[in-house]
Amino acid sequence: MERFNTMLEAAEYAATLCNSWSFAYSNTEVYDSAKLLVSAQMSDEENPVDEDSFYVVSPSGTIGLCQDGEEIDWLFLSNCAVDEDLPATLSSASQQIKFCPNCGSGVVPGARFCAGCGTKLS
């Protein structure tokens, strides 16, 4: 799970993973990359998040807002992985990657590479 301080950064990253999103609170509206980036920019200008908050992007490109460092409010759902199992909190997200699939050593939550063998973690 990647973390970003602004929604625009999150959206730019998500756009490398996916090309279509649905807004979580309206299942009729579909966003393409351009529309997502415009919405993200407006959101940053109108409702910048405070220091304790950040955006997260799931491996499929779903964008969520983490307000208290724990619970995740998923905002833009990736249409590339509709059955994705999204964690409700960051701690449950980090539990998904607990051990290196290659060598089995413990992995720090959020680490990109295994400290034991250097395998890239997804």
**One of 38, 103, 108, 111 touching Zn ion (CB under 5 A):** 103
**Minimum CB separation from Zn ion for residue 111, in Å?**
10
Residue type for position 85: D
**Minimum CB separation from Zn ion for residue 14, in Å?**
27
Stretch touching Zn ion by CB under 5 A, among 43-51, 71-79, 80-88, 92-100: 92-100
* Unique residue bearing structure tokens 């351009």: 34
Q: Which residues contact 60 (CB under 8 A, 6 or more apart)?
A: 17, 18, 78, 80, 81, 84
Is position 42 an interface residue for Zn ion (rule: CB under 5 A)? no
**One of 33, 81, 116, 121 touching Zn ion (CB under 5 A):** 116
Chain centroid to CA 77: 10
Using the minimum distance from each CB to Zn ion, give the nearer residue, 95 or 105.
Answer: 105
Is position 115 an interface residue for Zn ion (rule: CB under 5 A)? no
Residue type for position 118: G
Is position 117 an interface residue for Zn ion (rule: CB under 5 A)? yes
Is position 119 an interface residue for Zn ion (rule: CB under 5 A)? yes
In the structure encoding, which two tokens stand for residue 112, read together?
């990109």
List, in sequence order, every beta strand (DSSP E) within 1-122. 2-4, 20-23, 26-32, 54-57, 63-66, 72-78
Residue numbers at the binding site for Zn ion (CB under 5 A): 100, 102-103, 114, 116-117, 119
